[in-house]
Amino acid sequence: MQNLFSIAGKVALVTGGSRGIGRMIAAGFVEAGAKVYISARKREACDQAAAELSKNGTCLSVPGDLSTEAGVQQVAAALAGQESALHILVNNAGANWGAPLSEYPDAAWDKVFNTNLKGPFLLTRTLLALLEKGARSGDPARVINIGSIDGLHVPLLETYAYSASKAGLHHLTRVLARALAPRGITVNAVAPGPFQSKMMAATLERFHDAIVASCPLGRIGEPQDMAGVAIYLASRAGAYLTGAVIPVDGGISTCV
């Protein structure tokens, strides 16, 4: 039981790991003894975050734009050049765009879907060989997709592509879970509610009190909440779970 939630010695890649929810997960993994690679589109931000997280363990930077095939190949090649196996892949890199329906641009739809849905699919597919090498009997390799409660219910804000892409990611999680289970890889999703992040900053500034009031647990999510569920999914404790979408939202999704 002492090792049930241990991820010490595992190799993890967290996309979008330089800030927000990705950084919360990466920080938790680092402090739990994993060797963590983080990816982000901006090299300087990725390098800086990795240096800061390395104060508590091992964190390395592999920057790249994961909304494109070229960026996916770049990150995968960098990782394969340093590691012979990957135990944990966290597909967290995401984009959002809000605009009225009549003004919603095609470019926004493409950007959000390429980042939130196509990118996780391409990266998971590209890293399959490394993930298979990371699988052990009774301890499969893990893919953890970061969705959203906006993919579980209809949000108040006009974020059409974001909500649709996260709902798609939730279902892609189930499809991949069934396909990859025989290969020793589990695939699960986390659907976060409101957390302090750059993506949520404007929303929380405008609606903080209303969001807290709508949350049965009466608060905004904290970094430990996100790190905790990710460590559970990545550890022996979560080894028999696949195809699940776990809301981490203080109960908000139970109210709709």
Task: Tell me the H-state helices in the chain.
Answer: 20-31, 43-53, 69-80, 106-113, 119-126, 128-134, 160-180, 201-214, 223-234
Is residue 182 left, alpha or beta, with left meaning phi > 0 and alpha meaning psi from -120 to 50?
Answer: alpha
Nearest-angstrom CA–CA distance, 107 and 120: 19
* Nearest alpha-carbon partner for 227 in 86, 49, 12, 26: 26
Q: 223-234 and 20-31 helices cross at what angle (nearest 10)?
A: 60
Residue 235 bridge partners (DSSP): none
Whether 104 is a known active-site residue: answer: no
Nearest-angstrom CA–CA distance, 134 and 149: 30
160, 162, 232, 240: which is the annotated catalytic residue? 162
Please report, in angstroms and rounded to a whole number, the separation of the first and last CA atoms in the chain: 37
The encoded tokens of residue 196 equal 């302090």
Question: Annotated catalytic sites, by residue?
Answer: 162
